[in-house]
Amino acid sequence: MHYVYIVRCSDNTYYTGYTNNLKRRINMHNNGEGAKYTKGRRPVELVYAKEYDSKSRAMQKEYQIKQMPREKKIKLIEEN
């Protein structure tokens, strides 16, 4: 399976990403091995995740979320 996820960083910012192993990826972020953005903003907390059957669909959704303003991301998180 393929996942799009949002984590809330310790400075209350959001990071959106894609993975095919959600648990491992969140652990990587919290161990400083994830994205450069989250490395200095640990710990992170998973606040949104959605599963997709195809990598291309997941990556399209990741791109869409990354283009959203913060307020829309918060709304997406709250609705799920």
pLDDT tens digits, one per residue of 46-63: 999 999 999 999 999 999
User: Does residue 16 contact residue 5 with C-beta atoms inside 8 Å?
Assistant: yes
Alpha-carbon dihedral sign for residues 49, 35, 29, 14: negative
Phi and psi (nearest 5°) for 26?
-65, -40
The reported pLDDT for the residue numbered 2 is 98
Q: Is the pTM of this model over 0.85?
A: yes
Total of domains in the chain: 1
> Which range marks the domain in which residue 44 is found?
2-79
pLDDT tens digits, one per residue of 8-61: 999 999 999 999 999 999 999 999 998 999 999 999 999 999 999 999 999 999
At which residue do the structure tokens 């310790």 appear? 10
CATH number of the CATH domain containing 10: 3.40.1440.10
The reported pLDDT for the residue numbered 52 is 98
Residues 63, 20: Cα–Cα separation, whole Å: 16
Residues 71, 73: Cα–Cα separation, whole Å: 5
